[in-house]
């Protein structure tokens, strides 16, 4: 079948979160299963460096009407990558900017995001009529959620598009695309859409809600998160919509790109290793400690790693609350990341206070992130919520035993260690208190003393396969179900 992806991010062209990794990895996996996949992205300034200086246009100009003016967008042919055809929506006045959703030098979003992504959705529909109408439009998060809304309203009687089905993947329900009610008029949409059972929330136009209501099927990025977003705690005001559509909602855990994340061939590591030959991990631990200036750390002292955005959502408040207790344990802590100033300063001060036990790098560093995964004995992910998460899957592959909060994809990917049975891959805590995290860490520290058991625990994690092959097959099942329903 032919599937068109419409998304606002894709690695390496533009990335702010995990969606970009999905759009880069899932389409090639679908191609390997025998399907035709086309990806449409906005032509941001950041994407231009990955394209030839002389752009090739698949469609020179598409006219998109607005109330008092027209916009003109071209479709740039990005060529095939891993069998996937890429097209870029070129509208320089809307997309050729520093920043994707807001200025890189400021706080907040661009004031015209409704127009930017409304135009993007409409251009994809118009382009598909010329470049190939798919069986499935697969859209992602609020930025492309208007595509199914438009398809079932202003394009309802279009004979070329009527048979196309839609699937919406929610990567993070907290981001919904809230805009003024005047967006209805600005995007030339019918006013009968602006009702509580369609796109209206608290007298505002909610892009994501429109996608949830009008898409044929909904997916999200882990099985546990699919249940969580039906609750007030995680649904961010849309839990009622998720509940009503629960029979059309499926959680599919994201996969991992093992061509980039495999300790047996990772070029960023000091040594390579595998479950059968773990000697290289010892060298990677030594290299990590050296990189952070931590010397003379005994082999009996576990190295605990954090690679994270420093924010409350990532559970850094829990880490701050148990900092004194951590320093009492026989551990070494290394952390890299950036984010909220409070937590950046927390890690700086903690490292200054205990320079022989704690080291922090307040800046994200891709190469160092690989070193932390490979050199850590224990990896912490205490997120308050985590729709999917990838670091826990990386850490398992790299033999870094994970300590996670049982939420979203963390819960799905990690199985609690059972020393008696020799099963499990890490340690989970379920409560919403810092002491619950401390208790899970203490269980991990106790297990670390049993070297034979610890090696079995590492093997269990490293044996897990989170490649994209299985999620891609699950998405194909979703597509086939949608097409069966539409007859």
Cα separation, 343 vs 35, whole angstroms: 45
Residues 360-414: pLDDT tens digits?
999 989 999 999 999 999 999 999 999 999 999 999 999 999 999 999 999 999 9
Q: How many angstroms separate the CA atoms of 131 and 150, rounded?
A: 19
What structural domains and CATH numbers belong to the chain? 2-255+469-486 (3.40.50.2000), 279-463 (3.40.50.2000)
Say how far apart CA 281 and CA 277 lie, in whole Å: 9
3-state secondary structure 394-407: HHHHCCCEEEEECC
Residues found in the chain: 487
322 touches 350 (CB < 8 A): no
Q: Return the DSSP state at 237.
A: T
List, for residues 204-256, the tens digit of each pLDDT value: 999 999 999 999 999 999 999 999 999 999 999 999 999 999 999 999 999 99
Q: Which residue is associated with the tokens 């009529």? A: 129
CA-based max dimension of the chain: 72
CA distance 66 to 460: 57
Sign of dihedral through CA atoms 441, 447, 448, 449?
positive
Chain Cα centroid distance, residue 255? 10
**Each residue of 333-358: pLDDT tens digit?**
999 999 999 999 999 999 999 999 99
- pTM comes to 0.94
The kind and range of the H/E element at 21 are: helix 18-32
Confidence of residue 104 (pLDDT cuts 50, 70, 90): confident
Q: Please write the tens of the pLDDT for every residue from 260-317.
A: 999 999 999 999 999 999 999 999 999 999 999 998 999 999 999 999 999 999 999 9
Asked whether 73 and 90 are in contact (CB, 8 A), the reply is: yes
Please tell me whether residue 44 adopts helix, strand or coil conformation: coil
Angle at 115 between CA 112 and CA 120, to 5 degrees: 125
CA-based Rg of the chain, rounded to a whole angstrom?
24
Q: Is 333 helix (H, G, I), strand (E, B) or coil?
A: strand
- Residue 248 is given by DSSP the state G
The encoded tokens of residue 281 equal 């991990």
**Separation of alpha carbons 351 and 101, rounded Å:** 34
Q: What is the DSSP string of 430-453?
A: -SSSHHHHHHHHHHHHHHHT-HHH
Please check whether residue 409 is in contact with residue 386, taking contact to mean a CB–CB distance below 8 angstroms.
Answer: yes
Q: How far is 225 from 408, CA to CA, in rounded Å?
A: 4
């Amino acid at each position: 079948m032919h599937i068109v992806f419409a998304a606002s991010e894709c690695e390496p062209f533009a990335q702010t979160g995990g969606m970009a990794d999905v759009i880069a990895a899932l389409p090639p996996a679908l191609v390997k299963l025998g399907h035709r996949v086309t990806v449409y992205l906005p032509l941001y300034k950041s994407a231009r460096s990955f394209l030839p200086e002389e752009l090739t246009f698949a469609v020179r100009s598409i006219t998109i009407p607005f109330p008092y003016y027209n916009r003109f967008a071209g479709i740039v042919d990005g060529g095939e990558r891993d069998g996937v055809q890429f097209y870029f929506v070129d509208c320089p006045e809307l997309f050729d900017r520093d920043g994707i959703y807001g200025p890189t030098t400021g706080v907040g979003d661009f004031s015209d995001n409704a127009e930017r992504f409304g135009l993007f959705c409409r251009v994809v529909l118009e382009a598909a009529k010329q470049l190939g109408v798919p069986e499935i439009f697969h859209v992602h998060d609020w930025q492309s959620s208007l595509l199914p809304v438009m398809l079932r309203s202003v394009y309802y009687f279009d004979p070329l598009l009527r048979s196309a089905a839609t699937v919406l993947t929610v990567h993070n329900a907290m981001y919904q695309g809230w805009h003024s009610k005047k967006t209805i008029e600005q995007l030339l949409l019918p006013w009968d859409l602006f009702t509580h059972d369609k796109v209206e929330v608290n007298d505002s136009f909610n892009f994501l809600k429109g996608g949830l209501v009008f898409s044929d099927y909904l997916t999200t990025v882990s099985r546990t998160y699919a249940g969580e977003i039906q609750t007030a705690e995680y649904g961010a005001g849309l839990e009622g919509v998720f509940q009503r559509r629960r029979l059309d909602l499926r959680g599919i855990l994201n996969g991992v790109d093992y061509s980039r994340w495999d300790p047996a061939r990772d070029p960023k590591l000091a040594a390579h290793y595998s479950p059968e030959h773990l000697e290289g991990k010892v060298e990677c631990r030594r290299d990590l400690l050296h990189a952070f200036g931590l010397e003379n750390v005994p082999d009996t002292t576990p190295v605990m790693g954090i690679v994270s955005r420093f924010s409350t959502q990532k559970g850094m408040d829990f880490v701050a609350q148990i900092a004194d207790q951590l320093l009492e344990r026989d551990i070494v802590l290394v952390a890299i990341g950036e984010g909220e100033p409070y937590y950046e300063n927390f890690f700086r001060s903690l490292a200054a206070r205990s320079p022989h036990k704690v080291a922090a790098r307040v800046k994200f560093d891709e190469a160092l992130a690989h070193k932390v995964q490979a050199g850590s004995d224990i990896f912490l992910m205490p997120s308050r919520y985590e729709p999917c998460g990838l670091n826990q899957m990386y850490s398992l592959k790299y033999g870094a035993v994970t300590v996670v909060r049982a939420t979203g994809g963390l819960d799905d990917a990690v199985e609690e260690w059972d020393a008696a049975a020799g099963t499990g891959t890490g340690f989970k805590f379920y409560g919403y208190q810092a002491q619950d995290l401390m208790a899970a860490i203490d269980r991990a520290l106790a297990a670390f003393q049993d070297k034979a058991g610890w090696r079995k625990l590492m093997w269990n994690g490293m044996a897990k396969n989170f490649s994209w092959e299985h999620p891609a097959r699950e998405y194909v099942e979703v597509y086939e179900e949608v097409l069966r329903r539409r007859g």
